[in-house]
Amino acid sequence: MSGEGQSARHVAIIMDGNGRWAKRKHLPRAMGHRKGVEAVRELVRSLQDTSLECLTLYAFSSENWKRPEDEVDDLMNLMRKFIKSDLPEFIANDVKLHIIGDWQGLAPDIVAMLENALEQTAKGSRTLAVALNYGSQAEIVHAAQLAAADGEITEDSLAAHLYTAALPPLDLLIRTSGEVRLSNFLLWQAAYAEMIFTDVLWPDFTPRHLFDALDQFAGRERRFGGR
């Protein structure tokens, strides 16, 4: 599905546009988030049809706590429902769950559900990494503090303490909804990643859009700072 050129091993997506999707359809904002969860579900099911080893999704940033309380509560409840309903499917489809961010700062029941999901999916061959309570600047500061405690801070020592240290290098970053910014997501990891910004709102993003992005990636020439 990724063309005849290079194949992406690790793709990350900033899932943006749930609210605008709902507004355009004159629906409550919560309906946009629920439709967005369905888009996640279909994308995870499609992983077996790609070359991907890892798909990372920006689900809840550390800045999202600033949103209205009822919206945050709805997002947390959606998370509970998604973990409960989709965990058996993750296991059946050989998907390994990985969480990045300060997820232990979430509600205790969600933390317990995530710990169980991590344990149940530990042997999966493809990884779904979910960014929860995540902010890239805070991640870099935290990694630098750990590297300093261990000794000298170098690019390698800092990278070894990032939440993504166990994941393949980031190849491609996609953002939906037409916004063209990184929003404090994988700033270190995206240093030489290819990027695609699409006008498609996240609830309308399908596996076909992912396959098309992988085809675009396969046709790009990556220089990593060289000529």
Q: What are 65-84's pLDDT values in tens digits? A: 999 999 999 999 999 999 99
The tally of CA atoms less than 13 A away on the side-chain side of residue 222 is 17
pTM: 0.94
Specify the fold of 10-134+163-218: Undecaprenyl pyrophosphate synthetase (3.40.1180)
Whole-number Å distance between alpha carbons of 36 and 44: 13
Q: What is the pLDDT of residues 7-22, one digit of tens each?
A: 999 999 999 999 999 9
Whole-number percent of the chain with pLDDT over 90: 91
Would the CA dihedral through 63, 69, 71, 75 be positive or negative? Answer: positive
* Whether pLDDT at 222 is above 90: no
Where in the chain are the domains?
A: 10-134+163-218
3-state secondary structure the chain: CCCCCCCCCEEEEECCCHHHHHHHCCCCHHHHHHHHHHHHHHHHHHHHHCCCCEEEEEEEEHHHHHCCHHHHHHHHHHHHHHHHHHHHHHHHCCEEEEEECCHHHCCHHHHHHHHHHHHHCCCCCEEEEEEEEECHHHHHHHHHHHHHHHCCCCHHHHHCCCCCCCCCCCCEEEECCCCCCCCCCCCCCCCCCEEEECCCCHHHCCHHHHHHHHHHHHCCCCCCCCC
Per the CB < 8 A criterion, the answer to whether 189 and 10 are in contact is no
Specify the pLDDT at position 2: 40
Strand partners, 98: 129
Catalytic residue IDs: 16, 64
Contact 20, 36 (CB under 8 A): no
pLDDT of res. 221? 78
Residue 3 confidence class, pLDDT cut points 50, 70, 90: very low
